[in-house]
């Protein structure tokens, strides 16, 4: 797994961890909990649009370092 991908997953996981969206009893399509054997992972971004935009701008300004574009 590329470093940029791992770092993004760690970032988004830390944001959603204190919410009910990934609570062990929350078995929903949005966290993979409704599929037996599926790794549970929330794919949304919970820090809000301004922070998401800031992150995107920072990544773009750095030339997408760590990303594999093709």
- Per-residue pLDDT of the chain (70 residues), as tens digits, is 888 889 999 999 999 999 999 898 988 898 988 999 888 889 899 999 999 999 999 999 999 988 888 8
The predicted structure's pLDDT at residue 15 = 94
Q: What's residue 61's pLDDT? A: 97
pLDDT at 54: 97
The residue assigned the tokens 């970032």 is 11
Give me 25's structure tokens: 């009893």
Query: Is-contact 40 22, C-beta < 8 A?
Result: yes
pTM of the model as a whole: 0.75
């Amino acid at each position: 797994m590329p470093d940029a991908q791992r770092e993004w997953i760690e970032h988004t996981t830390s944001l959603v961890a204190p919410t009910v969206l990934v609570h062990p009893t929350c078995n929903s399509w949005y966290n993979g909990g409704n599929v037996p054997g599926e790794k549970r992972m929330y794919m949304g971004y919970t820090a809000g649009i301004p922070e998401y935009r800031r992150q995107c701008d920072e990544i773009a300004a750095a030339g997408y370092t760590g990303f594999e574009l093709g």
